[in-house]
Every structure is written in structure tokens, then in C-alpha cells.
Amino acid sequence: MKQFLTTGFILFFILFCEILFGQSNWPKIYYDDINAPKLNFIVSYDDGYLLLIRNKPNWPRNNWLIKTDVNGNVLWEKTLGDGVNVIITRGIGMNNAGSIYLSGSYGLVGSYTDPYVMKLNACGEKEWCKIFSVPGIHNISPALTVTPDGGCAVLLYRTGENGFVDRNCLARFDKEGNMLWKQCYNSQDSLLGNEDCYNLILTPDNGFLLTGFCIYADTVHNLGWGHPYYIKVDSLGNFEWETIPDKHGINGFGEGWTTVVSPDSNYYYSSISHYYYYSEENGAAPALLKMDMAGNVVGIYDMAEPDFFGMLYDAKFINDTTLVASSAWGPEWAGWPKAVIIDTLGNMLDEQDMLENDYLARIELTIDNKYLFYTQDIDENEEFDAYLFKFNQNLESDTVYTQPFVYDSLCPYGIVSDTIALDDCGLIVGDREIFMPKNEAESEVKIFPNPASDKFKVQSPMFEVGVCSVVVYDLFGRNVKKIQVPKAQTEIEINTIGWVKGLYVVRVIGQDGMMGSGKVVIK
């Protein structure tokens, strides 16, 4: 009898431990005591998660960048902003060195905001930031992507010389903060208008694909209909193609939200809302749009019947033929958001309800092939809370990990929770960065001939001010040439024989740092 009781106690203890340590603590809720809508998130290099949250939905004075462990528990927090100006951070990315890139909008309360981009090192400390200034126009940066050189490309909305015309622009930075190029894209199709892009990805050829929405004129019915819209550019930002699905037909209406590349790098798959204007349903369906690498639409696959609302918002490939996605459909406004698993023809394989609201989630895959859904809810006080769900392959809440993990190993010391203000940011007007020298002449840098073949010359009045250096960087941010300029010398010549053809950044650096810069093309 004693042995039986002992054995029973042991079995009970094992079962208790399994319940205690194997149970799920998902979803996680962040800042549930204040009004805090979610923004964006990524998985960190150390398998933790980086989440962006803003303080209040309208005109927020600060955002938060928080780092969590694999169980969603907060490790540290950075407050972004000065508490006075408006800041909304939408783009986030991380390079192989653990540096964090952020982009969004920043400006005076009740006035116009300007896009910004900022780089933090692996310890969460600001290395550099840039602000794109277009006076009198409200503009933003909705997305960014990290590039193979460790830099980033930033999607910009209305930041060209004519902001109301140049609706979609792209700026490319190396990891040192040099703006390598900035391009704006305006369609030559006179029937297209109101084109807005929200999503940016790196393509297999190291170019970029922009995803969004446009209005295309229906000359038969004398109306304009919404269509998904895609712009493909090369690695230097040069326009390659645009796609407006079924622009003259009746089956390609809708709105594009996000796009991913297939694992074999042969197709683009875009999450869209598929609108039905000329049908009995007269509604929308969540759908998957497939394009080849030249922008030709292969198919549009509805994953539910058209209804009052239908939207496929974000999707990620699990394997060659299957995606996990965030979606909603139904007779209500947005139905209920769901976590779904679909194949590449839009067929539903599995689904799981999340929160009973109309807010869809951003998705990331973890290192152990689990699924993260980042969304939000609004409580009885009409205040937002950020939610992070983690599902296993069966769309069940994941269990708690009890094994030890090492976080932030690329930072040599402990990361503290503090505030990062957008001060000392470089100001970019048009496609040039404006420096703040002691006098206007100091920022002038002349480079000729440009383009150059085997050599070029650099002239600058800063050479006469004091000892300074001319440093040349290639497209990947590597230092390819550095010349110390003797005092009072007005011009230097740089030999480029053997250099790779392409774009280079020339910077004049004095004892107090950057004094001016220019660009040269080697042909």
C-alpha cells in the first residue's frame, strides 16, 4: 500500500510538472494598462522578438521598441521620440550584425510629418538617422527592407521634388548612413492614378518589389476601380516594370497588401483583397495573387466565397507548397480575423480564430517553424492593447520553453531600457542631404568628370579651411579610397583604374566629422 501511494505521488508530480511547464502562456498582451496600438515586428537574430508599439492611436508622442524572449516576455524597452513631436514607426529590419533599422514619420503635432530612417547598433543605441523634408506635405515611410551589404532600402510616400506627383519613392542607404540613391516612380499610363505602395521586399536579383493599390480608369463605364499595384526596380532603383492585374477586365479588382517570393525564387505571391464589382456577390474575397518574375499575373485564387468583406493581409511560406497567413472574410465588417494555412492555389488547409474584432495580424516564422501573429484589440474603455500569438504547426497555442536561451550576444554589455530621440538627424531635401556647416560654401563638393572612366577630380572650398580627408565608398559601403588633403590645396585627383563600374559616394571629412558629400559614376 505504501509503495502504491509513493508511486501514485510520483505520477501525480510528473503530471503536475507537465501541466505547469508544458502549458501555453499565449497570447501575450503588452501595455494593457494604457492605450497602445501595435505597429510592426520581426524575429531577432537570437530568436527573440522585436515589437513596435505606439502610445495612443492618434498623434502619438512616442513609440516603443521592445525586445522579448522566445516566450514573449519583455527583456528591454526603448522609448522612441522626444515626447513632444509626433512619431509613428512602421518599418523595421535587422542586418547580420544585429543592427536594427527603423522607419516611419516624424513631425509637429497637428502639422505635417516627414519620413525618417534610423539605425541602431546591436546594443540598441542610435548610430545615425535621416529625415526627409518636404514642406507642406504629409508624407510617411511605410516600410523598409535590409539589403545584402547590411544597409537598407526605405519606401517613401510623396517625397519627390513634386510631392503630390511623386507618390512612391525609394531611398537606398549603406550601413554607414550614406544615401546611395533615391528614385521616384511615376507611371506613364495616363489611366492610372492614386497609386500608393505599403509593402517593400528584396527580390532574388537584389532588386526591390513595391506592393500596393491604384485606381485605374474604366473607360467603358466612365469610372475608376481599385486594383492591386506592383512596381519592380533593379538594385540601383531603376524602374523595370509595373503590374496592374486585369486592368481592362472585370476580375482583377482589389488591393495588394504584402508580397513574398516562392522558395524556388520563380514566383511572387501577393496577399490581396479581391473585389467583385460586376457580380451578384458585389463583395470581396481574401485571395492569393501569383505573378512570374517578369510581373505577368499567373492567377488569382480566392480562398473564400466573396462576401461583404474579404481580405488576405499577410502570408509567409512554410514549405514549397504551403503558406501560413492572416485573413478575414464574412458578412460583417472584416468577419473575425483568422490564422489560416493555405496552399499555393488558395485552398484552405486549416484555420484558427483569433480575437473577435476587425484587426488583422502581421506574421513571422520562428526558428523552430512556429507561427507568430502580431495584432491588437480594443477594450471596453476603447483603448488598444497589442497582442502576440504563437501557434504550432497545428495552429494550436505554443507551449512555454523552459530551456535557457542567450539573448543579445552581439552586444558586449547589458542593454538598458532608455529613450532614443530623433535629434542630430541628417536632413534630406529632394535627393541631397543638407549638412549644417559653418557657412554655406563649406558643403559644396564638385566632382568632374562625372561619369568618369579612369580618374576624376574633387574640388571643395573646405580644403582651404583646414586638414581634411576625402573618403570614397562603393555601393556596399566599403571604403575603397582615402586621401588626406594637404591644407590650402584646392583640388585632388583620384585614380579609378581597376574599379568596378557603378555608383560611388565621395565624402569630405574634417576634424569635426562630415563636411560635405557627392556621388560619382564610374563607367
Amino acid 232 reads K
Write the DSSP string, 449-493.
SSSBSSEEEEE-GGGGTS-EEEEEE-TTS-EEEEEEEPTT--EEE
User: What cell does 273 get?
Assistant: 483583397
Model confidence band, residue 381 (pLDDT cutoffs 50, 70, 90): confident
User: How many other CB atoms are there within 10 angstroms of residue 485's CB atom?
Assistant: 22
For residues 337 and 149, what is the distance between their CA atoms, to the nearest angstrom?
37
pLDDT at site 475: 63
CATH 2.120.10.10 boundaries in the chain: 187-365
User: What cell does 6 get?
Assistant: 509513493
pLDDT at site 224: 81
Pairwise pLDDT comparison (388 vs 381), residue with the higher score: 388
Pairwise pLDDT comparison (263 vs 433), residue with the higher score: 263
Percent of the chain with pLDDT over 90: 60
291-306 pLDDT per residue, tens: 999 999 999 999 998 8
Q: Is the pLDDT of residue 88 over 50?
A: yes
The per-residue pLDDT of the chain, averaged, comes to: 87
For residues 259 and 325, what is the distance between their CA atoms, to the nearest angstrom?
12
Model confidence band, residue 248 (pLDDT cutoffs 50, 70, 90): confident
pLDDT at site 19: 39
CA 17 to chain centre: 41
User: How many other CB atoms are there within 10 angstroms of residue 322's CB atom?
Assistant: 14
**Local structure of residue 269 (DSSP, 8 states):** E
Q: Which of 479, 472, 421, 434 is nearest to 450 (CA)?
A: 472
315-362 pLDDT per residue, tens: 999 999 999 999 999 886 556 899 999 999 999 999 999 998 889 999
For residues 118 and 131, what is the distance between their CA atoms, to the nearest angstrom?
9
By three-state DSSP, how is residue 242 classified? strand
Alpha-carbon Rg of the chain, whole angstroms? 26
- Cβ(225)–Cβ(199) below 8 Å: no
The strand pairing partners of 367, in sequence order, are: none
User: What cell does 84 get?
Assistant: 513632444
- Cβ(231)–Cβ(295) below 8 Å: no
Please, which residues have CB within 8 angstroms of residue 235's CB and are 6 or more apart in sequence? 205, 206, 207
For residues 273 and 282, what is the distance between their CA atoms, to the nearest angstrom?
13
Please, which residues have CB within 8 angstroms of residue 378's CB and are 6 or more apart in sequence? 357, 384, 385
> Which class is domain 444-522?
mainly beta
pLDDT at site 164: 61
For residues 492 and 514, what is the distance between their CA atoms, to the nearest angstrom?
18
The pLDDT of 383-404, averaged and rounded, is 95
For residues 383 and 211, what is the distance between their CA atoms, to the nearest angstrom?
30
pLDDT at site 1: 42
pLDDT at site 17: 39
Counting every residue written for the chain, the total comes to 523
Lowest mean pLDDT among 155-164, 195-204, 235-244, 270-279: 155-164
Please, which residues have CB within 8 angstroms of residue 159's CB and are 6 or more apart in sequence? 115, 132, 134, 139, 166, 169, 184
The pLDDT of 408-425, averaged and rounded, is 93
Which of 237-241, 330-334, 430-434 is modeled with the greatest confidence? 237-241
pLDDT at site 13: 36
129-173 pLDDT per residue, tens: 999 988 777 888 999 999 999 999 999 987 765 656 788 999 999
CA 514 to chain centre: 28
By three-state DSSP, how is residue 354 classified? coil
For residues 372 and 364, what is the distance between their CA atoms, to the nearest angstrom?
5
Task: Tell me which CATH code domain 187-365 carries.
Answer: 2.120.10.10
pLDDT at site 7: 39
CATH 2.60.40.3080 boundaries in the chain: 444-522
pLDDT at site 280: 60
Q: Is the pLDDT of residue 53 over 60?
A: yes
pLDDT at site 292: 98
The pLDDT of 413-426, averaged and rounded, is 91
471-504 pLDDT per residue, tens: 888 766 678 898 888 877 888 899 999 898 877 8
Model confidence band, residue 372 (pLDDT cutoffs 50, 70, 90): very high
- Cβ(345)–Cβ(301) below 8 Å: yes
pLDDT at site 395: 97
- Cβ(114)–Cβ(106) below 8 Å: yes
Percent of the chain with pLDDT over 70: 89
For residues 231 and 183, what is the distance between their CA atoms, to the nearest angstrom?
12
Write the DSSP string, 51-120.
EEEESSSSS-S-EEEEEE-TTS-EEEEEEES-SSSEEEEEEEEE-TT--EEEEEEEE-TTS-EEEEEEEE
By three-state DSSP, how is residue 18 classified? helix
User: What cell does 209 get?
Assistant: 518589389
Angle, CA 493 vertex, CA 491 and CA 495 arms, to 5°: 170
For residues 95 and 103, what is the distance between their CA atoms, to the nearest angstrom?
15
For residues 201 and 50, what is the distance between their CA atoms, to the nearest angstrom?
19
pLDDT at site 244: 95
For residues 101 and 291, what is the distance between their CA atoms, to the nearest angstrom?
29
Pairwise pLDDT comparison (42 vs 498), residue with the higher score: 42
Lowest mean pLDDT among 32-36, 221-225, 286-290: 221-225
Torsion of CA 294, 300, 211, 166, to 10 degrees: 80
Q: Is the pLDDT of residue 24 over 70?
A: no
